[in-house]
Amino acid sequence: MTEKFYLGISGLIFAVIGVLHLLRIIFGWSAKVGVIVAPLWVSLIVLIIAAFLSFWAFRLYRTVTP
């Protein structure tokens, strides 16, 4: 596995996670882990972190030579 491939896959996974959390915020979906219900503000924090990591991975993807 090359570094460029790894960065592309990582960026894509973090982007999907971010989009799912954005959809949860927009539609008000509930999220439960066992008996604990996660509030929507948790998704906002995860959305910000996932967006940053996705941006960072794709930025590095562009700078790595094949």
Domain positions in the chain: 3-63
Name the phi and psi angles at 35, rounded to 5. Answer: -105, 0
- pLDDT tens-digit readout, 20-55: 999 999 999 999 999 999 999 999 999 999 999 999
Res 66 pLDDT > 80: no
Q: Which of 62, 55, 48, 42 is nearest to 12 (CA)?
A: 55
Amino acid at 52: F
